[in-house]
Amino acid sequence: MTTLKWFALAWCLVLTACNSQTSTQTTATSKAENSHSDRMNIVSPDWGNAATLTAMGHAPIATGDVRVWDRWVGSPELPTSITDLGIRYQPNAELIAQLPVDMVIDNYFYEHARNLYGDVPAESVMFAAKGETATWADYTEPTRELGVLIDNPKMAEDYIVQSQKDIQLASQQFQQRYPKAKKFAVVQFADANNMRMYVANSLFQPALEQMGRALVVLGKGNQWGFVPIRMGDLAQLDDETCLLIIDPLSPITRAEIDDSLIWQRLGYGNTRCVGELPPVWIYGGMSSLVSLADNLSEVSLKGGEVL
């Protein structure tokens, strides 16, 4: 074979190899781009779904009332790229029209606004007790529904497993700090004399149950998981029950509570145990259970015999 023929053959082999490599690289790049583009753009006006999706690793591209998220939800922190839809109950229609939305995930509370999304499909996912007592399954099942909707069931399953581990770790940390604190009543003040007490059909039931603690209640709750009570009603709680106050609590209300003769007679912070927790979205999903457990693991309890 002549030198020229050897050169031509070698050059042909080089070109074939290069073309093959280029083809492989192009295919890999194409797959990566498709994988990225396949990620669904979710919009959710509901904070419970938005928070759980964010904690799972698939944050929505938009939710409502972002400006007050930290005040009422706290954790998880929203990505800076997220779009604020405006008021959750009445999202901004012009803004929605500019978003590349693949799916809306809401619940019955927001269904009235679905016409604003045009032909975009909408699905309802609700985190709430199915009976008089909230269970762990009431929060895992909707989380799995989210996984199916975003076409990533494994992401949801992994998040559920990790959430249970996080709650158990928080439980161990709390046990080391306050081994005698076993029973809790949970309230949120509306003003200095009126509050919501969260009961068995609220998220506090499965969260405390997972931590090996008991939720103490005064009455049967409404569909939102609470019963309205007045400050004097707290006298019905026994001395072994620690009162947890959920923020936000305004400085004015805080000062009025401290000045209340009823509060002073109840003895919280002295003869009775009390603690204050950062905000957690009361009507949230799995992420709220984890946030509550984390907050409780770091709480500073005062008063009573549980310390």
What stretch(es) of the chain map to CATH 3.40.50.1980?
A: 42-126, 158-298
What's the whole-number mean pLDDT along residues 133-140? 97
- Supply the mean pLDDT for the chain: 88
Residue 216 has pLDDT above 50, yes or no: yes
Question: What does the pLDDT look like over 282-292, one tens digit per residue?
Answer: 999 999 999 99
**Architecture in CATH of 42-126:** 3-Layer(aba) Sandwich (3.40)
181 in Cβ contact with 173 (< 8 Å) = no
Place of tokens 């009573």: 304
What's the whole-number mean pLDDT along residues 63-92? 94
What's the whole-number mean pLDDT along residues 105-130? 94
pLDDT score for 307: 67
Residue 166, exposed/middle/buried by CB under 10 A (0-12, 13-18, 19+)?
A: middle
The band of 8, judged by pLDDT with boundaries at 50, 70 and 90, is very low
**Positive or negative: CA dihedral 268, 271, 272, 277:** positive
What's the whole-number mean pLDDT along residues 144-155? 97
Sequential DSSP letters for the chain: --HHHHHHHHHHHHHHHHHHHHHHHHHHHHHHHHHHHTS--EE---HHHHHHHHHHT---SEES-GGGHHHHT-SSPPPTTPEE-SSSSS--HHHHHTS--SEEEE-GGGGGGGGGGTT--EEE---S-SSSS--THHHHHHHHHHHHHTT-HHHHHHHHHHHHHHHHHHHHHHHHH-TT--EEEEEEESSSSEEEEE-TTSTHHHHHHHTT-EE--SS---TTSEEEEEGGGGGGS-TTEEEEEESP--HHHHHHHHH-HHHHHHTBTTTB-EEEE----TT--HHHHHHHHHHHHH---BSSS--
Residue 26 has pLDDT above 80, yes or no: no
Question: What does the pLDDT look like over 234-269, one tens digit per residue?
Answer: 999 999 999 999 999 999 999 999 999 999 999 999
Among the listed residues 212, 274, 203, 211, the one whose alpha carbon sits nearest the alpha carbon of residue 239 = 274
pLDDT score for 23: 39
Q: Which fold has domain 158-298?
A: Rossmann fold (3.40.50)
Residue 28 has pLDDT above 50, yes or no: no
